[in-house]
Structure 1
Amino acid sequence: MASANEGAVVSQADLTALAERLSQVEQYLHVDEKRLRVAELESRSTEPSFWDNADAARSVMEELARCREDVKLVETARERLADASAALELADELEGDEAAELVAEASLTASELEASIDQMELSSWFTGEFDHGSAIVTIKPGQGGLEAQDWTFMLFKMYMKYCARRGWKVTINDCPAAEVIGIDRATFTVEGRDAFGMLRAEAGVHRLVRISPTDDKKRRQTTFAGVEVIPVLPDDIEIEVAPDDIRVDVYHASGPGGQGVNTTDSAVRVTHLPTGIVVTCQNERSQIQNKAACMQILKARLYELELEKREEALDQIRGPKHTIGFGNQIRSYVLYPYQMVKDLRSGVETGNVEAVLDDGDLDPFIVGYHRWATGNAEPLSLSEDDLDE
């Protein structure tokens, strides 16, 4: 469409196409129902006893804010679409610079609208219970020894850049330095609109091919890291953890590169004895805060485990579990003998590896995955060549 290109001249046909897309998105987002829901929740929030249950009240206010935002996004888009259409109609009645200015204004509005509708369309694909909420991301080294620990650190930095690009808030729960290079693991919480829905596209095995920085003979090395993405549970979901079922250990905190986070035994490791799940956190200054963060992550993982028991596979939350090694990768990052990043599910690829790893330009891959996963693109049939890349 013309408005998709910066500096292109928009036409009424382009605006009509945008209006049709906006109507579809409005249906997908159930905006009419959300308008009614806003009125209902606003009425509840004015009741005298509304804040008697603070947790329930906060949950209502959070839902109200989300519904208001969806309604406002669509209403604002419709207003801007009407403005662009009116500008083009007026331009037809004028000549010279005045007409050109109105056309340029309408074209810019259409371009911005298209980007906004793209984002709303993406959000409409997120129909899971936790898709619109926050996420807990864990990265662990797989096959590849020391190289895998370095690769884990590279992925950690890539996701930090991506979250910054999207304006999400990140809390680093745990990121201990490895003894020689890289990090042992990383766990961080991401807060922002659609954070879990977006980031669950990243769950799986990530493969790196490059010249080894630790090999004196400069041989090509293939390494792997695994990414786990689970939702932060809403307050209205209760997961009971008996005090006798956990062991809490404290130790000195350390960060990437070996620097001390602080000089006290504030880092906390919580072990859930019945399941063997271990959660660590060293981001906060006090044991109490670190233990609270550990318990939040532990409860999310116990909830995930319960779903797994019920349904045998956790595809809707984290994707199938595989060994973090050969044959199980979802995406390959090749730095040598050529440069390419390729997602083996959606087929999205780029030769600009620096933009992906250094700048966190992951939207093409994440959007591409969701388009593929929701049936908005033809399913990709992986060849043996793809799996060997």
Structure 2
Amino acid sequence: MLRTAARAMLERLPELTDELVARVRGGDEDYCSLVPYDDHWASTLEGMRLGITAILQKRGERRDLQFTEAMARRRADQGLPLDSMMRMYRLAAQVTWAGIVDYMEREHPDQLGALVRTACHVWHAIDRQALVAGDTYRRRESELLGRNHERVSALLDALLDGAADAGVVRSAAAGLDLPERGRYAVVTVRFPVRHDGGRLPEKLGGMRLLWRMRTGHEVAVVALGEGTLDGLASALSVTVSGVAGISPVVDGLVELGEAHRLAELAMRTCVDAGPEVARLDQRLPAVLVICQPEISGYLVNGVLGQLLALDPADRDVLLTTLETWLRCEGSAAQAAGQLYCHRNTIINRIRRIENLTGRSLSRPRDIVDLALALDAVRLLPTS
């Protein structure tokens, strides 16, 4: 009975294919936009032919499953959602079974009871196809995601290393879904532990962040959109518990290599383990010290040499006082409050610093010398 019904279904293949394709495309925009109609119709025709034939085949003889695997891989490559593909199999089962029932009602109504008892053969064949299709699709999707991740990483590396020519920039723009020209910044993070223990953010306000692991730190390309460096720094300060550096704004993907270098320099101005977020445009004197270590060494010796030769405890007290006094913009009262001592104690320490260095903290040029020398002591390794 099933062989007779199957042969009848094979004779109606174009009609059944039309019905199934219409039902699938009628309720699924993804199928319409991602799978061309001719491709959909031809693959459905072949799938229906093999599927109906497979109803009476033993599992080891079934040739439809190889076709099912190939189509599942193809739909994954086309980007068709898994739910859409699985819905197609449900509709295929409905169309096939309805066709068999219609045939039996019309040609052999007296055998409908027997047909019901053989329904498991039909549904088993279709279920087997659906299971194979789902498993194959997931494997292929994992492969594609892995390849896409590798490609995204390679594109980000090329941009961040400054090795991107015009062709790479175009590929990166397409692969990363970013405009070639736009407002970008680069963020570097060391000890990138979030305050809430989660992952580093991929969105901050209206800004998009693409992260890449590097030796000793992580780096992100930030598509700023309408965002600002103030907003970026503020958002990072409540997200990252380590230290971070932020580059100036650049105007396109081709400039990200230089932005990456500047963000790393900004991060190097952070002395402790954090939390601290450093913007390059607000750390320029410290960055100059880092970039010229030999000259900075001469500056340290020439300005702070006698002070650094003191007993370590005495030296550290004076250096901390100088740093605090500069941070308080020359206010002895504020510095005293932060260091928990009397205002006169601060004034006496400042006079001692002036005597040891030969610089006056009332002269702007001398203040520059002392501030740069202090940065060099904090940021450069001691010999």
TM-score normalised by the chain length of structure 1: 0.21
Q: Which has the higher contact order (CA 8 A, sep 6+)?
A: 1
- Higher strand proportion, which one? 1
TM-score normalised by the chain length of structure 2: 0.22
- Higher helix proportion, which one? 2
Q: Which has the larger radius of gyration?
A: 2
